[in-house]
Every structure is written in structure tokens, then in C-alpha cells.
Chain A
Amino acid sequence: MSRSLLLVGSPKPGASASRSFAEAVGSRLEARGWSTRTERVSPAFADATRMGELLDAIAESDLVVLAFPVYVDSLPAPVLRLLETWESAIADGAFAGTAPKRLAVLTQCGFPEASHCDFSVAVCRRFADKTGVEWAGALAFGMGAAIEGRAPEQSPLNGRIEQLDAAVDALAAGDVIPAEATAAFARPLAPAWSYPLLGGMMWSKQAKSRGCKEPLNLRRYAQ
């Protein structure tokens, strides 16, 4: 049986867009006869034992699906550190004798344009090329909060289920996620021009729900 490892790169311990995205792919892989295992990236850095266990999980898998949010135009620091650690482990021979690994990436950002994710995908692609991990493609979309804690079918991504299925079909067959699926996922869920207005309302609402009494545009530090 083919084995996949779903790595959730969101630092949030509970629900996250990354976890929802990873689980959506994982459930589809299972429906296609794969075994799946889900692990969070951040806790692996608590101690050497946990990192060793995560590297063992990578070693035991055929396909690694790495799901993460874009932070400051790139991968969150813990996800970067995972790639660095994985590369070191490869160089140290930790994966000698294990099955070849494939890497697929699922990423999302808070902006409406998926293009903000392009750099992060390129970084992961470079990691794969540099280390000999086989690149299996990526899905990226904007407005990531839209699926936090929800299955795609119950979210604004419900119009992309066909493309999600096509992507998983390819992964399950040992192929790269089709460019058509990647392009379909990248289409904005909301028009960019609406974001300045809708985003402002969203942040004000969130601040109010958190009991924030300070102005959101506070300049905290002296210049």
C-alpha cells in the first residue's frame, strides 16, 4: 500500500486552513487506497526525539504533502527549518535504502491573489531539486481563511472540487499535479478590489470580538 504523510505547517494547534487543505487531500488519497498519516510540523522542534520521529515518518512515506500558510511572502520559519533538517538528514544518509520520496505542496495566503504564494512554491521546488526529492506539484489559493476548519465542500472552494479530485488522482498515480488544477485553484475567490473594504470590516469585527479598545492603527514604537 502506498503511504502518504500529511505535514501541517500551520503553527495553530487546532483548526487551520492548512489542516483543512491537508485533510481534504488525505481523505481523497485514502479513498484511492493510500494510507495517510498526519503530523504537525511545529511540535517536532520541541525536542530531538520528536524531530527524529518526524524524520522517521518521512522516511516511511512515499509521498509527503506539505501544507502551510504563507508568512511574510515565504514559508513560516518552522516549515523552513523542517526542510533544512530534512536536507541535513538526507546528507547524513538517514534515508538511505528507503523508498524515493515525492513532495506535493498545498499553500494559501491571506490576500485574494494566489500569486502571493508563488515564491513559497518556488522555494519548495528548489528544495526538491536540490535534495533529489521528486517534485509532485502544488496547489495554492488566496483568501486562505475561507476554508479554516472546513472541508472544501463546505467552503468557497466548493467550486473547485473537480480540480482537487484531478490533483489527487495525479498524486495517487505517481504523477505531478496537473497545471490545469493548479491554475483553477489560483483563481481569486473574491475580486481584489473588494478586499480593502471587506478586509477592513473583517479586522474591525475581529478586534471588537477580542475586546480590543485601542485603535487598530496605533503606532506603538517611537521613530
Chain B
Amino acid sequence: MKATILDASRSSDLRTRAAADAMEAGLAAAGYEVERILARELQVRACTGCFGCWTRTPGECVIADDARGMAERAIASDVFAVVSPVSYGSYGSLAKSVLDRMICLVLPHFTMVDGEVHHKRRYARYPVSLALGTLAEPSAEETALFERLVERNAVNLHNPKHAARVVSGDEPAAEAVARLLDAAGIREEVAA
């Protein structure tokens, strides 16, 4: 089983880096072959909104940079985990620059999901989505927003399961990772 971690810590962000360490350790302990990608070392241009990934080079971004490889890794994984500082309840801009470039993984065509329009799935299966956010200070509002974002993303990106947690200050991330894996039902599946 394969897990890909997008570590969106900036070089000086020790809190997020520690959270990514915990995510890597937790997934490895759960039996996954883990690949951890440092977002800050990727060459990723901002999405230009051209929809070329849908109508020019279907399934792949027209921009040839590291975002292509990230999309390829994500869809080939059983688990795709993002570890990122939280910006006002959203993923931070570094993580978002990579995630913006992943709409190639869904179809341009629309379907209804619980009465709301969303994009159809392109692939037969999608990874479980895990998101671990970090904050310098606790914020119930930003934590709730972050969890809501991951939930919304999971609908659009067809993740069969998803879970999100936020750690703040000096809170140890290992426990949050354990709760994430439990919430996503991952550790239960491994135990089985």
C-alpha cells in the first residue's frame, strides 16, 4: 500500500515539519510505503485557469513542471496526505499551489452529488485524503473551516474517505495523526 505526503512546510516552519514527520511515521507504522514530497522544493507554477487539462491535453496539465508528477503520484496512491500550515482556515498558499494543479484528476463533465453539481470522476479509484494542518495558536474557527475544506475537497476529488485535524502551538502531532488514521479507518483496515 502506498502513501504520498505533500509536506507543505516552509524551511523555517518547524511546527509543520514536525507534523509531517509524525504523519510519515504514523503511515509507516500502519504499514504503508511512504513517499514524502517537500512542496518547497517543487517547481510549480500557479494554475492559469486555462482548462487545458480538460480540453487540450485531457488528464494532464499543459504546464510541464513538477505539478504533473504530483498529480500522477496522488492518483497512484492509496493515501494522499497533505500537511500544511493553515491560512485563515484554508491550506496555506504553498500547498494550495500544488493542489490547484490537480483538477486534471477529475473530468470536466458534471454530475449531481446530493443535489449539488460537481465534476465527474476520471479514474476508477481515488486515494483516501488525509489533511493535517498546523496553527501557531489554537483557533476553533480555523479548525472548523479547515475540516470543512477537506470535506468539500473530498466530494470534488472523489476521495472514498477523508479526515482532517489541526494541531497548534506545541501540541504533539503524533496523537493527531493517530486520530486521523482512525477517523479514516486506515488502522482498522491494516489490523484486519
Contact = CB atoms under 8 A, between A and B. Distances in A.
Contacts of B92: 80, 84
Max chain A Cβ within 10 angstroms of own Cβ: one of B58, B117, B156 = B117
Contacts, number: 160
Contact of B58 (A16, A124, A126, A212): A212
A217 B96 contact: no
Interface in B88-110: 88-94, 96-97, 99-100, 102-104, 107-110
Interface of A: 10-12, 16, 42, 69, 71-78, 80-81, 83-84, 111-113, 115-116, 119, 122-124, 126-127, 130, 192-193, 195-196, 199-200, 203, 206-207, 210, 212, 214-223
A111 B47 CA distance: 18
Contacts of A71: 47, 49, 96, 100
Given A10-B49, A72-B99, A112-B117, A122 B54 contact: no
Given A11-B47, A126-B145, A217-B122, A199 B110 contact: yes
Interface stretch (B30-38, B71-79, B164-172, B175-183): B71-79
A74 B145 CA distance: 11
Nearest to B121: A217
Contacts of A216: 54-55, 58, 107-109
Most buried by A among B48, B71, B89, B156: B89
B112 A192 contact: yes
B163 to A, nearest CB: 17
Contacts of A12: 48-50
By Cβ-Cβ distance, the 10 closest A-B pairs, closest first, are A220-B59, A81-B93, A77-B97, A207-B55, A77-B96, A80-B93, A126-B88, A203-B108, A199-B110, A73-B152
B106 to A, nearest CB: 10
Contacts of A199: 108-110
Interface string B12-45: 0000000000000000000000000000000000
Given A11-B48, A12-B48, A119-B148, A80 B107 contact: no
A196 B90 contact: no
29 contacts: A16-B49, A72-B156, A73-B149, A76-B49, A77-B96, A80-B90, A80-B91, A83-B88, A84-B92, A84-B93, A111-B110, A119-B89, A122-B89, A126-B145, A196-B110, A196-B112, A199-B108, A210-B52, A212-B55, A214-B57, A216-B58, A216-B107, A216-B109, A217-B109, A219-B122, A220-B59, A221-B59, A221-B60, A223-B123
